[in-house]
Amino acid sequence: MRFAITLFLCFFSLSCSAANVVTDNLIRPWSKELQKEEPYKYPFVAAYKKGEFNLRFIAAKHANNINSTTFKIIKKEIKTKPIDLIIIESIPYETGPSPQYFLDHAKKCHETNFSHCSEAAYTIWLNTKKDQSPFVGGEPTDHAILQYMTKKGFKEHDIAYFYLLRKIPQLKRQGRLKVNYTEQFKQHIQRIVRRLSLNEELTLSGFLHWYTKHIKKKFLIEDITTHYVAPYNDQKSIFSQKISHAISLYRDKFIVNLIRKKSKKFKSILIVYGGSHHTKQKLALEYLFGPTKFRKEL
């Protein structure tokens, strides 16, 4: 009934299409049980084909090591032509095609052997070496996410402090977490405030208070893993996981609709995203482009 009402309202909206409504409703919330539906553990490649259109989705396990399986798969897929468009995680679509700042970032990452960088940077650096394809970010803007989340009942500072919490496992993985992290966290908070264009003053002590209040325990840096920011939404989920769940669903809807839109212009798209995004999007992608063909071998 809810789906039918949404489709009816969408019929009279210039900014909405029936395809958007269908794919939005096919995107599923993350769970460990959902991951078990995939034939392989991340990373792997999921391929789709409809007519002359081809989509290759690298379901990555986030890495910053050129010897990782994720990086090896990316290297192989970049060599497989044609690629008319690459879509990467971590940068907003609104930054435009092949933004120079990210090209510069990828070059700097290469100079440090990608030890502090992501698979997105590695993808774009490989792409620049020969027969460069255009690339875009697959993310909605921070403003759009913030607007969506406040409508969901979250406070602006909830999102800001969540972003800091989400950053910690990444810093650990990249070997960039300082032993004395106080100043490092203060700098990250100020970057987040600027990024979200917040008028509210946010502080490290404010973050620690927020953590104790909502996570229900004392903040210990050694405790913080990706589990704290996993996109779960059940009775056992902690506050930060519920934030992650809401943001993740919004992002996935944006990504699928971006792929659908670009599939009308480009015949071959390569997308590099964290594996959980593919797992949640799979039914929507199959609705648009047919059955998934999985590849794990290098």
DSSP assignment of 73-141: HHHHHHHSS--SEEEEEEEEGGG-SS-HHHHHHHHHHHHTTTTT--HHHHHHHHHHHSSPPPEEEEEPP
Q: How many helices (H) and strands (E) does the chain have?
A: 12, 6
Q: How much is the pLDDT for 8? A: 41
Q: How much is the pLDDT for 17? A: 63
Task: Sort 280 into a burial class: Cβ within 10 Å, 0-12 / 13-18 / 19+.
Answer: buried
Q: Which residue has the higher pLDDT, 234 or 5?
A: 234
The total of other beta-carbon atoms located within 10 Å of residue 99's CB is 16
Average pLDDT, the chain: 92
Contact 49, 267 (CB under 8 A): no
* Confidence label for 296 from pLDDT (cuts 50, 70 and 90): confident
C-alpha span between 94 and 239 (Å, rounded): 29
Q: How much is the pLDDT for 6? A: 47
**171-219 tens-digit pLDDT:** 998 889 999 999 999 999 999 999 999 999 999 999 999 999 999 999 9
Long-range contacts, stretch 4-13, CB < 8 angstroms, 24+ apart: none
pLDDT at 90 over 50: yes
Q: Which residue has the higher pLDDT, 116 or 269?
A: 269
C-alpha span between 273 and 87 (Å, rounded): 8
Sheet holding 53-60, edge to edge: 135-139, 85-92, 268-274, 53-60, 44-50, 293-295
The total of other beta-carbon atoms located within 10 Å of residue 121's CB is 22
Q: How much is the pLDDT for 16? A: 55
Q: How much is the pLDDT for 13? A: 41
Q: How much is the pLDDT for 81? A: 83
What's the whole-number mean pLDDT along residues 106-123? 94
C-alpha span between 261 and 236 (Å, rounded): 37
Q: How much is the pLDDT for 18? A: 65
What's the whole-number mean pLDDT along residues 29-33? 89
Contact 279, 37 (CB under 8 A): yes
**153-171 tens-digit pLDDT:** 999 999 999 999 999 999 9
Element (H, E) at 207: helix 204-215
